[in-house]
Chain A
Amino acid sequence: MKIMWGGALAAAAVLASGVPALAHHSFAAQYDATKPVEMKGVVTQVDWTNPHARFYIDVKDERGQVKSWNFELASPNVLVRNGWKRNTLKIGDPVAVTGYLGRLSPPQGPIMAIASSVTGSDGKPLFASTQQDLGR
């Protein structure tokens, strides 16, 4: 697991700006823009749900310890209009993810974060979140 605290991070797959689309909730209240994260993991669960789609990944650190993460995506209607299907991410897929750490996470549950980019095993970046979802 590689986490970049406060490091510079280019968010790929964020397309051109224009008419705002909605974040269902305040970015800044839920995520910390000063704590970008970057990691590779394996998909363990996909929630094709509203108000946000989510995917869960298991990430192994240098010592072999596995931690689970819960990444927020845009809502399915936005994802579909950006080329996603509900099976775009599948359990077992290896993914590279960038995003921002949640301010809170459940004590026993996966670590909460929002995805700013997701890249599947084919190396193609997928749309992940709108600019507004990311508080920009």
Chain B
Amino acid sequence: MNRIITLSIAAAVLSASSVFAQQAQAPAGGVRRLGGNIRAEGGSGPVPRTADGKPSLEGVWQGGLPVGDIAQGMRGEKIPYLPETQQIMAAALAKDDPQAQCLPVPPPRATPYPWRVVFTPTHGFFLYEMYDYRQIFMDGRKHPPLDELDPTWKGHSIGWWEGDTLVIDTVGYNGKIWLDNRGHVVSDKLHTVERYTRKDLGNMDIQITIDDPGRYARPFTVHGVARLMPRTDELLEYICAENNQDLPYLVGPRQ
């Protein structure tokens, strides 16, 4: 079945264009690359500010919190697992990974690829190349009572400024996300607090505090840094479910 779908997609692509009649071009050079694939230079200079004096988080950013293993972003702490959490992780299969199924990967797992932040007077929007958006209510509202919130993959997020730091508080998660590629699981008791501080033109400090009494014995904080990408870079399209051939071929536990 997958093969038929693949052939159909490929046939449509081939018949719709003359893309295969052109000549390949050499890789572009001259820009420092990170991870052998994504370019981001960071750069120094003052923090840009909006008309109201707040830091502007504008630009396309690369990186941030560690997507591979949140433990890599912890400073002197260890992940305070509850015993059952490690059992759940050990029993998880590779095909159980929401990401392998093209399901949402909100922070701290949201930024393997570039991302952008857009603010209006009342809302903030995080646009993640992989592969979703989030909306942050910046109009002063509070979270609804938890028993009135429908649990969702990305939860209910409210934001405010503390000095030059954007703070985002999220509750109402459905407990289905993994926090990283390693497979750190959460419960629907998850509560996160993110802090975004643009240190200069090209660098943004990011923290997320994970507070999940259903899976972890106490809150803990994961740190990361995002770099500004060149102004010529834009977000690209990543439609995860387009041709996801991998899922039937993922064998065994998450490794």
Which B213-255 residues have a C-beta within 8 angstroms of A? 227, 236-255
Binds A, one of B24-32, B83-91, B139-147: B24-32
Knowing A29-B255, A132-B68, the reply to whether A127 touches B100 (Cβ < 8 A) is no
CB-CB nearest in chain A for B229:
A81
Determine if A15 and B36 form an interchain contact, defined as CB atoms under 8 angstroms apart.
Answer: yes
B3 touches A74 (CB 8 A): no
A29-B252, A130-B36 as given contacts; A24 in contact with B20, CB under 8 Å: no
Please tell me which one of the listed residues B19, B26, B130 contacts residue A124 in the complex, with CB atoms under 8 A apart. B26
Contact with A along B7-43 (1 / 0, CB 8 A): 1011001100001111111111000011111111000
In the complex, which residue of chain A has the Cβ closest to the Cβ of B100? A25
Contacts of A14 in B (CB 8 A): 36
CB <8 Å contact, B251 and A104: yes
**Is the pair B130, A22 in contact by a Cβ cutoff of 8 Å?**
yes
Q: Report whether A83 and B28 are in contact in the complex, using a CB–CB cutoff of 8 Å.
A: yes
Contacts of B20 in A (CB 8 A): 46, 87, 90-91
Whether B249 lies near A20 (C-beta < 8 A) is no
One of B23, B243, B248 near A52 (C-beta < 8 A): B243
**Contact partner, B38, options A54, A78, A89, A104, Cβ 8 Å:** A78
Residue contact A77 to B113, C-beta cutoff 8 Å: yes
Would you give the 0/1 interface string for A31-60, flagging 1 where the beta carbon is closer than 8 Å to chain B? 000000000000001111111101000000
Q: Are A24 and B249 in contact (CB under 8 A)?
A: no
Q: Using an 8 Å CB-CB cutoff, how does the interface string of A8-28 with B read, 1 for contact, 0 for none?
A: 000000111111111111111
- Check if B94 is an interface residue, CB within 8 A of chain A: yes
The answer to whether B181 has its CB under 8 Å from any CB of chain A is: yes
Interface residue? B122 (CB, 8 A): no
Question: Shortest Cβ distance from A33 into chain B, in angstroms?
Answer: 10
- Residue among B6, B34, B181, B243 making CB contact with A19, cutoff 8 Å: B34
Q: A85-B22, A87-B19, A131-B36 are in contact. Are A20 and B112 (CB under 8 A)?
A: yes
CA distance A28 to B26 in the complex (A): 31
Tell me whether A25 and B63 are in contact (CB under 8 A). no
Q: What's the interface size class on B, roughly?
A: 35 or more
Selected from B67, B100, B237, the residue in CB contact (under 8 A) with A20 is B67
Who on chain B is nearest to A133 by CB?
A: B37
With a cutoff of 8 Å between Cβ atoms, the chain A residues found around residue B14 in the complex are 91
Which of B39, B237, B249, B254 is close to A103, meaning CB atoms less than 8 Å apart?
A: B249
Contact partner of A51 (CB less than 8 A), chosen from B19, B35, B67, B244, is: B244
How far apart sit A95 and B227, CA to CA, in the bound complex (Å)?
36
Asked if residues A25 and B246 are in contact (CB atoms below 8 Å), the reply is yes
Assess whether A65 is interfacial by the CB under 8 Å rule: no
Mark interface residues in A81-113 (1 if CB within 8 Å of B CB, else 0): 111111111110000000000111110010010
**A50 and B3 contacting across the interface, CB-CB below 8 Å:** no
Residues of chain A within 8 A of B2, CB atoms compared: 106
A-side contacts of B35, CB under 8 Å? 17-21, 130-132
Q: A26-B97, A30-B246, A87-B21 are in contact. Are A78 and B240 (CB under 8 A)?
A: no
Residues from chain A with a CB closer than 8 A to the CB of B95 are 29
Q: Closest CB-CB distance, B143 to chain A, in whole Å?
A: 30
Inter-chain contact B254/A29, CB cutoff 8 Å: yes
Contacts of A18 in B (CB 8 A): 33-36
A104-B249, A109-B3 are contacts. A75–B238 as well, Cβ < 8 Å? yes
CB pair B26 A83 closer than 8 Å: yes
B253: chain A residues at CB < 8 Å are 29
Give me 6 other A-B pairs in contact (C-beta within 8 A), A21-B36, A88-B24 excluded: A21-B112, A22-B112, A25-B100, A50-B241, A81-B38, A85-B24
